[in-house]
Amino acid sequence: MDSIVIHGGLPLRGKVAVSGAKNAALPILAATLLASGRHLIHNVPAVQDVKTISKLLTTLGARVTELGGGDVEVDTTGVERFQAPYELVKTMRASVLVLGPLLGRLGKARVSLPGGCAIGARPIDQHLKGLQALGARVELKGGDVSVSGRKLKGTHVYLDMPTVTGTANIMMAAVLAEGETVIDNAACEPEVETLAAALNAMGAGIKGAGTDRIEITGVRTLHGSEFTVIPDRIEAGTLLVAGAISGGEVHVTRCVPENLKAVTAKLREAGLPVEEGDREMRVTGSRPLRAVDIKTAPHPGFATDMQAQLMALMSVSEGVSVITETVFENRFMHVAELKRMGADISVVGNTARVKGVARLSGAPVMATDLRASASLVLAGLVAEGETTVSRVYHLDRGYEGLEKKLAALGARIWRLK
């Protein structure tokens, strides 16, 4: 199993380009199932989760060809299977994203229930509620969820919480339904907005994505498409924190500053100058860092996917920061590992109290989920001595060569195979 070794203490300097967004690429690749034909998707990140969804699409009968340089061709002409196997779903919860498209295209879909994961129980009741409202029959049997219905009808769906993949699934199923569908309290994440744009490029009629009310006018057919995945706002945020925590100056290119407003606001509150340009941002890692409070929330609130990284930053700030996680009930596994490095953090319920310390010290630590891994790498950049982050397969699920990008900025970091 690979691990990452970091010798902390060097300020990072230079320019780094952001890859395509994992959480946009996954639903867009799943969406190709809806429209028989050839799709050319650009800026697809080379991360493990993308490999997993590609394998899933292949299992369902699609042909997926990596053309290099982030270009992926998906030919969905031969899709006729409708079952996502347990082996794949258990490695990646986002496999559930094929439910909506398969239902829309084939009138049926069967996916192993994803179950809980390290960051929480993560049920899919809202996905199923929406599909049912569109007229699908939902059955739970043998650990699988089956949805079926050849004639879906437009409807009104109100989501109890603005679930990201739930909104995506319902939107995808509704595209080929008869008539109008309205999703209220929809997720407003940029990844939902770009999925809608990708579906529209296939011939769908979606309006309002990116707001909490999405309107979908059903169409009869869809076609092959060409689409470019948006830059990964979480990778961009992680790289900004890398510049900030190391006390250097990092210029992040190929990003969308608009999608990082909450992170930028918190970095500025902490006393870090952040400049925004057209598709670029620059952070200067000035000291002292002020402790700031953070509360995660659905977009445009502070992204839960940036919580662990900001906690690493806050652990070397001056003062006490209160970090509240409201999206997932169990997303503090990085706390125990940060404490091994000398961080002073206590957790009560969904709130972490982070008292900044003057220095962290390198230690062997273990990654437990994707963003937790990123926070440990960030802490390693500022820690004295050597940090070894094990179980980096979590990191590889969602970051394209993070250690290489950080090394190019001057970090002493390498991978042990």
Is residue 166 close enough to count as binding ligand EPU by CB under 6 A?
yes
Is residue 271 close enough to count as binding ligand EPU by CB under 6 A?
no
Q: 10 or 84: whose CB is closer to ligand EPU? A: 84
- Give the residue ranges of DSSP H helices in 109-229: 125-133, 164-174, 190-201
Nearest Cα neighbor of 325 from 259, 274, 369, 387 is 369
Is residue 94 close enough to count as binding ligand EPU by CB under 6 A?
yes
Candidates 193, 232, 305, 403: give the one binding ligand EPU (CB under 6 A).
305
Q: Give Cβ neighbours of residue 107 (< 8 Å, ≥ 6 apart).
A: 148, 149, 150
Is residue 120 close enough to count as binding ligand EPU by CB under 6 A?
yes
Please indicate if the annotation marks 71 as binding a ligand: no
Binding mask 285-304 for ligand EPU (x = CB under 6 A): -------------------x
Q: 112 or 304: whose CB is closer to ligand EPU? A: 304
What number of chain residues touch ligand EPU (CB under 6 A)?
25
Nearest Cα neighbor of 138 from 152, 149, 154, 122 is 149
Candidates 33, 56, 164, 236: give the one binding ligand EPU (CB under 6 A).
164
Is residue 375 close enough to count as binding ligand EPU by CB under 6 A?
no
Q: Are 18 and 231 spatial neighbours (Cβ–Cβ below 8 Å)?
A: yes
Candidates 9, 107, 115, 123: give the one binding ligand EPU (CB under 6 A).
123
Please indicate if the annotation marks 93 as binding a ligand: yes
Please indicate if the annotation marks 123 as binding a ligand: yes
Binding mask 226-265 for ligand EPU (x = CB under 6 A): ----------------------------------------
40 φ, ψ to 5°?
Answer: -115, 115
Q: 75 or 369: whose CB is closer to ligand EPU? A: 369
Please indicate if the annotation marks 391 as binding a ligand: no
Could you count the other beta carbons within 10 Å of the beta carbon of residue 68? 8
Compute the least distance from the CB of residue 340 to ligand EPU, in Å: 22
Active site amino acids: 117
Burial of 353 from C-beta contacts in 10 A (0-12 / 13-18 / 19+): middle
Is residue 126 close enough to count as binding ligand EPU by CB under 6 A?
yes
Burial of 278 from C-beta contacts in 10 A (0-12 / 13-18 / 19+): exposed
Tokens linked to 289: 């860092």
DSSP structure string for 51-119: HHHHHHHHHTT-EEEEEETTEEEEE-TT----EE-HHHHTT-GGGGGGHHHHHHHHSEEEEE----BTT
Q: Give Cβ neighbours of residue 165 (< 8 Å, ≥ 6 apart).
A: 27, 94, 96, 97, 127
Q: 7 or 122: whose CB is closer to ligand EPU? A: 122
Is residue 196 close enough to count as binding ligand EPU by CB under 6 A?
no
Compute the least distance from the CB of residue 227 to ligand EPU, in Å: 17
Stretch that binds ligand EPU, among 33-41, 58-66, 162-170, 307-315 (CB under 6 A): 162-170
Is residue 370 close enough to count as binding ligand EPU by CB under 6 A?
yes
Burial of 57 from C-beta contacts in 10 A (0-12 / 13-18 / 19+): buried
Q: 113 or 219: whose CB is closer to ligand EPU? A: 113
What single letter denotes the amino acid at residue 302? Answer: F
Is residue 310 close enough to count as binding ligand EPU by CB under 6 A?
no
Compute the least distance from the CB of residue 97 to ligand EPU, in Å: 7
Compute the least distance from the CB of residue 271 to ligand EPU, in Å: 27
Q: Are 29 and 55 spatial neighbours (Cβ–Cβ below 8 Å)?
A: no
Q: 130 or 285: whose CB is closer to ligand EPU? A: 130
What single letter denotes the amino acid at residue 314? Answer: M
DSSP 289: P
Q: In angstroms, rounded to a whole number, what is the distance separating the alpha carbons of residues 245 and 316?
A: 8
Is residue 371 close enough to count as binding ligand EPU by CB under 6 A?
yes
- Three-class SS state of 367: coil
Compute the least distance from the CB of residue 323 to ligand EPU, in Å: 15
Q: 188 or 382: whose CB is closer to ligand EPU? A: 188
Complete edge-to-edge strand list for the sheet that includes strand 364-366: 364-366, 386-390, 3-7, 412-416
Site residues, ligand EPU (CB under 6 A): 23, 26, 94, 120-127, 161, 163-166, 187, 191, 304-305, 327-328, 370-371, 398
Write out the binding residues for phosphoenolpyruvate.
Answer: 22-23
